[in-house]
Chain A
Amino acid sequence: MATTDTAPTGGEKRRHGRFSLSNGAYRAILIVGAGIFAALVAWFLYSIVNQARPIFSALGVSWIFQPTWNPNLHKFGLLPFILGTIETTAIAMVLAVPIGLGTALSLAYLVPARVKVVLGSAVELLAAVPSVVYGLWGVVALAPLWREYVEPFLTSVLGWTGLFNGPNEGVGLLLAGTILFIMVLPTMVAISRDVLAVVPREQVEGAMALGATRWQVLRKVVLPDARTGLLGAFTLATGRALGETVAVALVIGNSNYIAHSLKSPAATLPSLIINNFGEASGTELAALFGAGLVLLVIGLGVNSIARVLVRGKTGAAGGATSVAVA
């Protein structure tokens, strides 16, 4: 190609071996890039919906809420798995909210500066531990502990509630919920801490100057100020718990029936899919895709709410959390 030194006017030009693009071509390439992403997402959504279609056209929508899953008898119902998903997530969040919030408050306001950096980084790094490692640890290290100590203890103390009937097996809802709690804790703590730390200093000082104790400052000024962001942290953590597959599948005991006690083995929508997909075909395969679709709708719904709540609250940090925490 000829090399020419001309004033910039449109069109592609080469100058002494350097490659350049016109503004138009540059923009076009960017649009193509973003377009490829959008197309992939569309392909993904289409595939799931399309594969689930057979069962919806055969059984309508109500099959989702049927309580029996038995492909041999041609019975497909997702209720046990929807309940299992909700129950494990609920156990996880009941533990994660107080402990996560307390930890975040400590990190944001109580811990001395040097320790703060170390602990804060440690918590964030832990978000990166692969879920299969949690699963392995859960089934090998924790399940025996649950069977021998935790479940008997809880049964003796709280058995009267009727939630702790049945044998102590170790694996089950309780262990799955606990593992989920541990897994979402870094998410909960990291975002909550970020949100709590950006409460304006002048609010905190204003309360102090009126004679408030440290807890009064936190409770009456900092926490209310951070409300929306904390709700976002909670929702984001919930979204993560809902979609967790591998760790849960390893410790939940995999029973396709509705659980009647916190100690029962159970199953979630992700664990149903992971355990049955390999050998499924025909209607069962469509049903599994249907389960996937339900999971997708729930997950997208919860995460949309979370994103709306967290967005504006941490500014630049929001970008980083979307990376680290997803």
Chain B
Amino acid sequence: MSVLTFDPSGDPILERRRQIQSIAQASLGRRKASSAVALGICWVFLVLAIIPLVAVIVYTFAKGIVAWNATFFTQVTKPEGIPDGGVANALVGTVIIGAVATAVTIPLGLLGGLFLAESDGRVAAGIRFTADLMTGVPSILMGIFGYIALVKAFGYSGLIGAFAIGMIMLPIIMRACETAIRGVPGHLNEAGLALGARRFMIARRVILPAALPGIITGVLLAIARGVGETAPLLFTIFGNQYMQWNPTKPMDALPLVIYNNSSQPYPDLLQIAWGAALLLMAMVLVLSIGSRIVAARLQRERR
């Protein structure tokens, strides 16, 4: 290896170098093989991870698309044995409940997010931590909370379902707003202050427009999460076989239909379940993809 041509004996450096090089050469094969095996396993795991995830989507699509016809979208749910069942009432329920929950949680979440973004004290830290924890609370608990807090007093209604869903969405939107607002470059805020503007005006005219993409991203993701939840609806909206546009009454929703029909042995109810599953999945994926597109546009504008 070295091109030195004199006698190297007696030089500890060269002796060590020789030793190290011989060990390095001898072990090279083994080291490279271990590396190849380990990396190979990583690749295999990558494939293993993708397979079931793709399988769910493909299977749901295949089974669900068969169910999609005019009847499916225009008729209400019918019990077993009665023909021409559909999910129109459930679809209406999901949309209305989702809309109500969104309408309430956006302003509240915005206020909470602004609060968190503008505060650094321990109270704010506590609220922030609480919000993070609340995003991970098992949603069944929101369902029983909604029941005990409101259904006992007011009976089943879509509004209470929206309340339970909203409890899940609120912390998500709050944190997303906070992150988006904190992401706005500080000099914009400072410029506003230097001009003598009120904080409210700065927030309204400068900060919120700048944070809007991040806020929209978070809101879309929260809605995707909200409309996909089943457990909070189970004990709050009760379900309804008839079309119901009034959210103060019991309603039906897509996740409920899927859940109820899943454990039934009747093929036509199962088919409705698959159709509803595909519909729900499509709605959720569209919202999620939409949020990514907005986030990507946010990245581009920042550059």
**A interface residues, Cβ below 8 angstroms from B:** 8, 20-23, 25-27, 29-34, 36-38, 40-41, 43-44, 47-48, 51, 98-103, 105-107, 110-111, 119, 121-126, 128-137, 139-141, 182, 185-186, 189, 211, 213-216, 218-219, 236, 239-240, 242-246, 250, 270, 273-274, 277-278, 288-289, 292, 295-296, 299-300, 303-304, 306-307, 316, 319-320, 322-324, 326
Contacts and interface: CB of A to CB of B under 8 A. Distances in A.
9 pairs of A and B residues whose beta carbons are closest in the complex: A33-B111, A102-B45, A319-B179, A243-B138, A130-B228, A326-B135, A215-B35, A213-B35, A26-B200
B118 A30 contact: yes
B114 A30 contact: yes
Contacts of A186: 53
A96 B8 CA distance: 55
Contact of A125 (B171, B201, B230, B288): B288
B174 to A, nearest CB: 7
Contacts of B46: 102-103, 106-107, 111, 119
Contact of B31 (A102, A137, A213, A304): A213
B112 A23 contact: no
Interface in B192-248: 196-201, 203, 217-218, 221-222, 224-225, 228-231, 234-235
A185 B279 CA distance: 23
Contact of A129 (B44, B56, B110): B56
B129 interface: yes
Given A34-B111, A139-B262, A250-B262, A270 B45 contact: no
Most B C-beta atoms less than 10 A away, residue of A40, A51, A303: A40
B34 A125 contact: no
B200 A132 contact: no
Interface class of chain B by DSSP: helix
A135 B259 contact: yes
Nearest to A273: B140
A215 B57 CA distance: 33
A141 B57 CA distance: 12
Interface in B136-174: 136-145, 147-149, 167, 170-172, 174
Nearest to A250: B262
Contacts of B67: none
Contact of B131 (A37, A103, A107, A213): A37
B22 interface: no
Contacts of A133: 56, 60, 228, 258, 277, 280-281
A128 B225 contact: yes
B41 A21 contact: no
B194 to A, nearest CB: 13
B274 A136 contact: yes
A110 B42 contact: yes
